[in-house]
Structure 1
Amino acid sequence: MAARSAKEPLDPVRLNQLLCERVRKELKCQRLHTEYGVNPLQREKFLNLIHHAALEPTKKYSEPQTESQEIGWNTKPLVPMDRTDCRFYFPRRKTEVTK
């Protein structure tokens, strides 16, 4: 027993055999999953996440996240639209020149 406990260095051929056997066993038990599905127990959470990701940034966030989002972030008019006020409302008119 004492002779067995002393470790002898393995030759490269034996080392390669052990490695090949290990790889063969790992590949036999390994499966590659390429198709994924929705967890039926958390389907609503997943759908809410997908719908939230599809929203435009103004509906997702309360403030712009980047400097380029700052341009056009506030799209509401500063003054409410009043069609009777001729200072702010200029409808297209047909005239003899434009016909």
Structure 2
Amino acid sequence: MAETKKTLDLVHQNEIHIETVKKEQRLQKLHTEFSINPYRKLHILPDKPMSRKPTEAVVENSEFIKAFHKAREIPTEKYEAPLTESQEIGWVSAPLISSDRQDLRFNFYRVSTDVTKHSEYAQRTSK
């Protein structure tokens, strides 16, 4: 009786294993095209200064260059709205009103009055 229970368990375990393998194979995707990740910084090493090897002519890949420039853009140009809470801080960096140097509400210049002249004179004489 115990042996039949073990064989049933092995059979059920095998069925479960077959089912999981079939599900994994169904969801696997075969990738055949590869490219360089545009978001990763590349460290290009130059040739030795005294080497006589001619420089190689590299064919430009316009799609890669576009993806590289797109990855290097600042977030406000790349996206139309902030994606994270951290990006919301400072997303709108343009001033709310234009700066006017003649507007005295926002530009406080040093002005000498009778009180400031008197305090400057008192500080100079106390030394």
Smaller-chain TM-score bracket: 0.3 to 0.5
Normalised to the residue count of structure 2, the TM-score between the two structures is 0.38
Normalised to the residue count of structure 1, the TM-score between the two structures is 0.47
Q: Which has the higher contact order (CA 8 A, sep 6+)?
A: 2
